Structures are given as C-alpha cells and as structure tokens.
Amino acid sequence: MPRRFSREEADALLPEIAPHLTQLRDLKHQNDETRSAVDDLQSTLKGNGHGLDVDMARLSRALQSTGAAINGLIERVTSLGVEVKDLELGLVDFRGERDGREIYLCWKLGEERVAFWHELNAGYASRQPLD
C-alpha cells in the first residue's frame, strides 16, 4: 500500500525534494535540447552529412547520460513515497486522506507549501485549495 501523508508530513519533505525537482526540470530541458539537436543532425545525415557520425555519437552519449540522471532522481523522489507527475512544472503528488477517502495532496515548484489537493482519478487541472 502506498504511503499516506498528512499535509504537515508533505510540507516537511519539500526542502528535500525541491532541489531534486529543480535539477529534474533542468535535466529535462537539457535532454529536450539534445534530442532536438539529434533530430536536426539526422536530417543532415540523410542528405549527405558525411563526417557527422562523431557528433551523433556525442549527442547519443549525452542523451544516455541525462536519461540516467533523470531516472536516478525520479527514483530518489519516489523512494520517499512521492509521485513525480510533471518534470517541467516540478509537479508532485503525495497520497493523503480527506473526509475519509484517499486523495492526492498536490504541490509544484515555486509554491510555499502544499496547499492543493485533487481526487486520485483527476489531475493538476482539477486541484482544489486545501483550506
């Protein structure tokens, strides 16, 4: 059974997970830029891009490296019982309870504390204030 958090327990984890989420967002941007460079290079290679194999190998290694770093950070956050939902927003959910039913306590980078919740079958767009 997934760990359930109170609002206070979720808030207490924010200083630990926020730096990981910031790093995840940065790595995602880096990965997206590298993937775009790979796509551009593949187009060039189709047209007579002799000598670009070295560049493609370098970009492939960069994608592998950022992918491994992203996976490692996600594993670190999820090992705490936190569900990573969106790398771009730095969005996470903590399983919690409200009025006797299981819900998600919802938080994203930049927010001071956990102040929103939503149903398990809903998402970020359906979050509601806790207070």
| Non-local CB neighbours of 25 within 8 Å, separated by 6+ positions | 87, 88, 89, 90, 109
SS3 93: strand
Per the domain annotation, does 14 fall within a domain?
yes
pLDDT at 48: 63
How many folded domains does the chain comprise? Answer: 1
Per the domain annotation, does 47 fall within a domain?
yes
**50-54, 55-59, 75-79 — most confident range:** 75-79
Taking a C-beta distance cutoff of 8 angstroms, is the pair 5, 83 a contact? no
58-73 average pLDDT score: 94
- In the chain, the percentage of residues whose pLDDT exceeds 90 is 77
What are the pLDDT digits (tens) for 8-54? 999 999 999 999 999 999 999 999 999 998 888 877 766 665 667 77
Backbone angles phi, psi at 42, to 5 degrees: -65, -35
Q: Amino acid identity, residue 80?
A: L
Q: In Å, what is the CA distance from 17 to each residue of 11, 49, 127?
A: 10, 43, 20
Per the domain annotation, does 15 fall within a domain?
yes
Block residue for tokens 């996470």: 92
Per the domain annotation, does 81 fall within a domain?
yes
Per the domain annotation, does 2 fall within a domain?
no
Per the domain annotation, does 63 fall within a domain?
yes
Q: Where are the alpha helices (DSSP H) in the chain?
A: 7-48, 53-78
Domain that holds residue 119: 7-129
86-110 average pLDDT score: 97
- In the chain, the percentage of residues whose pLDDT exceeds 70 is 95
pLDDT at 98: 94
| Non-local CB neighbours of 89 within 8 Å, separated by 6+ positions | 25, 108, 109, 124
Per the domain annotation, does 1 fall within a domain?
no
Per the domain annotation, does 112 fall within a domain?
yes
pLDDT at 41: 81
* Averaged pLDDT of the chain: 92
pLDDT at 51: 63
Alpha carbon distance 25, 52 (integer Å)? 29
Query: pLDDT grade, residue 69 (50/70/90)?
Result: very high
